[in-house]
Amino acid sequence: MDKKNEAIEITKKILRMNTINPPGQERACAKVLGHLLEEEGFSVTYDDMGPDRANLIARIGGSANKLPLCFTGHIDTVPLGATDWKKSAFDGDTDAGKLYGRGSSDMKSGIAAFIGALRGLGKKLSRSPGLELVFTAGEETGCEGAFNLAAKPGLLGKVGAVLVGEPTANYPMVGHKGAYWVRAKTHGVTAHGSMPEKGVNAAYKASRVLTALEDFRFENLPHKLMGQATLNVGTIKGGLNINSVPDETSIGVDIRTVPSSPHAKIKESLQKAFDKDVTLETILDVEPVFTEPSHSWVQEVFGIMSPFLNEHVSSKTATYFTDAAALNEAYNHPPTIIMGPGEPEMAHQTDEYCRLAAIDVAVAAYEEIIRKWCKI
């Protein structure tokens, strides 16, 4: 079986493994991938994340002259949603050049394509600068697995560059926005709805918070590629029942940040915009990732991808966040590219699919990137 067909078969195999998060249950899928890598001579470590959950770290090669290349991807997927699927979410069905299933684009096809690309190269890789593969659990719920790895000294090695296989339709992205999610809480005193003067209405305070959020303007300069940070109110919760004065409300705020908007500064600015008794709780703190497009490795990847994409590759960034936000801190911020065969628009969608041709391209492109990095 050639590498491209093998990558498609690997994708189908792991699509048939339900890793919806929650609960995740990524361990079985990690074991399947680990076995494939062990066949190539990789040393494999599993990092426990709880019952039926695990991250996978696999290494091969090593050199005193050059650090290994890291490839990372997540094994978990989001739930199916309320809408019925017309295609099976777990059978790995193909139709009209598309491979269907939850995780087909986001991002099991990327993981399978990278494994397909390195198949048969084990002996050569063992005598090269090598690879470090990091397959994570819990990415879809805030990069839990990657943060877990980063917090454990010695689990991750040193790497010279990071390739993240998230869905980009094989277009190399040089970074992504961060995510800073906060919960703004207002506080009051409950009372009977017929005697509101006896209480303090937290909902009225929340209305002032909402106005402040709608009028909020970021103080930082826009980033040259990512533009300005954005803010969205996603949830509003509060009140005991309709005939009581609410004593607390909770407002969920999704802020997508850029390198010029430090999260601590944003929190400080938000707090100043609110009444003093409004409390801010951080839910998720994932920093943006950015590599200067002029970096030599980035330019090398651009050169590799241009003929595959049949166009000049320009500098772009992804809208979503990735595990690189957690891993890059542990790796001391190596150059990072986000690039995978999945369709970005298909991520988290009903009847999610990946184009078979895109998996073929990813296998060939990843192999060339591996060969150039490892000089094999």
pLDDT at 1: 78
pLDDT at 299: 98
Residue with tokens 């397959």: 135
What backbone phi and psi angles, to 5 degrees, belong to 82?
-85, -25
pLDDT digits (tens, 9 = 90+) for 346-376: 999 999 999 999 999 999 999 999 999 999 9
pLDDT at 26: 98
Please report, for residues 76, 77, 136, 319, the alpha-carbon distance to residue 6 in angstroms, rounded to integers and kept in the order given.
21, 22, 22, 30
243, amino acid identity: N
What backbone phi and psi angles, to 5 degrees, belong to 235?
-140, 150
- Spatial neighbors of 13 by CB under 8 A, at least 6 apart, are 32, 92
376, amino acid identity: I
Measure the CA–CA gap between 352 and 263, rounded to whole angstroms. 33
Residue 138 CB-half CA count within 13 A: 19
The two structure tokens encoding residue 215:
């009028």
pLDDT at 62: 97
pTM of the predicted protein model: 0.94
Measure the CA–CA gap between 323 and 106, rounded to whole angstroms. 13
Q: Measuring CA to CA, which residue among 263, 259, 301 is closest to residue 280?
A: 263
Given CA atoms 46, 48, 50, 56 in this order, what sign does their dihedral have? negative
Measure the CA–CA gap between 227 and 240, rounded to whole angstroms. 41
Query: 269 burial class (0-12, 13-18, 19+ CB within 10 angstroms)?
Result: middle
Residue 97 CB-half CA count within 13 A: 4
Measure the CA–CA gap between 34 and 265, rounded to whole angstroms. 42
Q: What is the mean pLDDT of each run of 10 residues along the chain (376 residues)?
A: 94 98 98 98 97 97 97 98 97 97 98 98 98 98 96 96 98 98 98 98 98 97 97 97 98 97 96 95 96 98 98 96 96 98 97 98 98 98
- Classify 298 in phi/psi space as left (phi over 0), alpha (psi -120 to 50) or beta: alpha
Measure the CA–CA gap between 156 and 161, rounded to whole angstroms. 13
What backbone phi and psi angles, to 5 degrees, belong to 168?
-135, 10
Q: Measuring CA to CA, which residue among 368, 364, 362, 374 is closest to residue 108?
A: 362
- Going across the sheet that includes 248-257, the strands are 230-238, 248-257, 178-187, 279-286
Count other C-beta atoms under 10 Å from residue 91's C-beta.
12
Measure the CA–CA gap between 57 and 64, rounded to whole angstroms. 21
Q: How many residues does the chain have?
A: 376
Measure the CA–CA gap between 161 and 317, rounded to whole angstroms. 17
Alpha helices (H) in the chain, listed in sequence order: 3-15, 27-39, 109-118, 122-126, 144-150, 202-215, 263-273, 296-309, 324-330, 356-374
The two structure tokens encoding residue 234:
């996603």
Report all structural domains of the chain as residue ranges with CATH numbers, in order of start: 3-176+288-374 (3.40.630.10), 178-286 (3.30.70.360)
pLDDT digits (tens, 9 = 90+) for 70-96: 999 999 999 999 999 999 999 999 999
Strands (E) located in 63-125: 69-74, 94-95, 98-100
